[in-house]
C-alpha cells in the first residue's frame, strides 16, 4: 500500500493506524518492549484501533507488561491480548519463550522487535556477552530465528526491528565485540555496534527469505526510559571531542 502524501514528520500513530487499518485488521502481532509510556506501548494502543486479531505483549517484567495490557483493555476492551515473558538477557529463557510461541495455535503475522537498552554501564548477559550487543541484537537474532517458521505461515509475514541513527557511532566490532571484557568499554560505541547489527540482520533476513517483508527503522529521539543512563555530557554543549562526541553529531 502506498503512503499518502498527507503523511509526514508530524504524523501520529493514530493517523498511521487509520491509513493502514486494512493491513492490520485481523492480524496477530507480537511486540517486545511494551512498558507503559514507551514507544512500544504507544504502538500497541495505536494499532488496537484497527481491530487486530490478537496482540502478544512480550517483556521481562510481568507487572510492567500487565500494566500495558490493562491500558489496552481500558482503551479497546474488545481487542484480545496475551502476555509472553521474555528476558532478553538470558538465552535459556529466550528459548523457553520461543518454544511457547511455537506452540501457539495462532500463526504470527507481524513480529516487532522493539525492546532494547542504551548507553548502559558495563555488564554482560548471563552468557557473558556485552549487555547492549547481547540484548539489542544477539537475543533478537536468537528469538526471531527460533520462531521464523511460525511467522512464515502467515500469508503476509512481516518483521520490524527498531534500530537507531546511532548505528553511525560504530560498526560491529567483529574483532572485539566485548571490549576486552570491559577494559576498553565505551557505552556509546557499544550501543552503535548493536544498532548496526540490527540493520544488517534485517538485510540478511530479507535476502534469505524473499517471502518475508523486513524493516528496520529509526524512531527518532524520544524521551522514554530508554534514556535513563544519559546525562548532560551526552548532549550538545558538552565536550565534543570526548568519547561521546559522535553521539552529539548523531542526535544533536
Q: Is residue 160 pLDDT above 50, yes or no?
A: yes
Which residues are the active-site residues? 191
* Higher pLDDT among residues 118 and 240, named by residue: 118
**Can you give the three-state secondary structure of the chain, one letter per residue?**
CCCCCCCCCCCCHHHHHHHCHHHHCCCEEEEECCCCCCHHHHHHHHHHCCCCCEEEEEECCHHHHHHHHHHHHHHCCCCCEEEEECCCCCHHHHHHHHHHHHCCCCCCCEEEECCCCCCCCCCECCCCCEHHHHHHHHHHHHHHHHHHHHHCCCCCCEEEEECCHHHHHCCCCCCCCCCCCCCCCCHHHHHHHHHHHHHHHHHHHHHHCCCCEEEEECCCCCCCHHHCCCCHHHCCCCCCCCCCHHHHHHHC
Q: Is residue 220 pLDDT above 90, yes or no?
A: no
Q: Is residue 4 pLDDT above 70, yes or no?
A: no
Q: Is residue 205 pLDDT above 80, yes or no?
A: yes
- H-helix segments, 54-186: 62-75, 91-102, 131-133, 139-151
Please provide the average confidence, as pLDDT, over all residues in the chain: 86
* Cβ contact 115:32 at 8 Å: yes
pTM for this one? 0.84
Cell numbers for 173, please give them.
Answer: 566490532
- Domain boundaries along the sequence of the chain: 13-219+228-251
Residues 6+ apart with CB under 8 A from 126: 89, 90, 91, 92
**Proportion of the chain above pLDDT 70, given as a percent:** 84
* Higher pLDDT among residues 170 and 236, named by residue: 170
At residue 65, the pLDDT reads 94
Containing 162, the helix (H) or strand (E) segment is strand 158-162
Lowest mean pLDDT among 13-22, 48-57, 167-176: 13-22
Phi-psi region of 212 (alpha: psi -120 to 50; beta: other; left: phi over 0): beta
Q: Is residue 238 pLDDT above 90, yes or no?
A: no
Lowest mean pLDDT among 4-18, 57-71, 121-135: 4-18
The superfamily CATH assigns to domain 13-219+228-251 is NAD(P)-binding Rossmann-like Domain (3.40.50.720)
**Proportion of the chain above pLDDT 90, given as a percent:** 65
For 162-182, what is each residue's pLDDT tens digit? 988 888 999 999 999 999 999
For 82-116, what is each residue's pLDDT tens digit? 999 998 888 999 999 999 999 999 999 999 998 78
Amino acid at each position: 500500500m502506498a503512503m499518502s502524501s498527507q503523511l509526514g514528520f508530524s504524523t501520529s500513530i493514530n493517523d498511521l493506524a487509520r491509513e493502514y487499518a486494512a493491513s492490520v485488521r485481523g492480524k496477530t502481532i507480537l511486540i517486545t518492549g511494551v512498558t507503559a509510556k514507551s514507544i512500544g506501548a504507544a504502538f500497541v494502543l495505536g494499532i488496537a484501533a484497527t481491530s487486530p486479531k490478537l496482540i502478544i505483549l512480550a517483556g521481562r517484567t510481568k507487572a510492567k507488561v500487565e500494566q500495558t495490557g490493562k491500558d489496552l483493555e481500558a482503551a479497546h476492551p474488545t481487542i484480545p491480548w496475551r502476555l509472553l515473558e521474555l528476558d532478553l538477557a538470558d538465552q535459556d529463557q529466550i528459548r523457553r519463550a520461543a518454544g511457547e510461541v511455537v506452540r501457539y495455535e495462532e500463526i504470527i503475522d507481524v513480529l516487532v522487535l522493539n525492546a532494547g537498552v542504551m548507553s548502559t554501564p558495563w555488564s554482560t548477559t548471563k552468557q557473558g556477552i556485552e549487555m547492549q550487543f547481547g540484548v539489542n541484537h544477539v537475543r533478537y537474532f536468537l528469538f526471531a530465528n527460533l520462531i521464523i517458521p511460525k511467522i512464515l505461515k502467515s500469508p503476509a509475514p512481516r518483521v520490524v526491528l527498531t534500530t537507531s541513527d546511532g548505528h553511525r557511532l560504530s560498526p560491529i566490532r567483529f574483532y572485539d565485540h566485548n571490549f576486552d571484557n570491559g577494559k576498553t568499554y565505551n557505552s556509546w560505541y557499544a550501543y552503535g555496534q548493536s544498532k548496526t547489527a540490527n540493520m544488517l540482520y534485517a538485510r540478511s533476513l530479507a535476502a534469505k527469505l524473499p517471502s518475508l517483508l523486513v524493516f528496520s527503522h529509526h524512531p527518532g529521539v524520544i524521551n522514554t526510559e530508554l534514556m535513563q543512563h544519559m546525562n548532560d555530557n551526552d548532549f550538545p554543549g558538552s565536550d565534543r571531542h570526548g568519547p561521546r562526541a559522535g553521539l552529539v553529531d548523531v542526535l544533536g
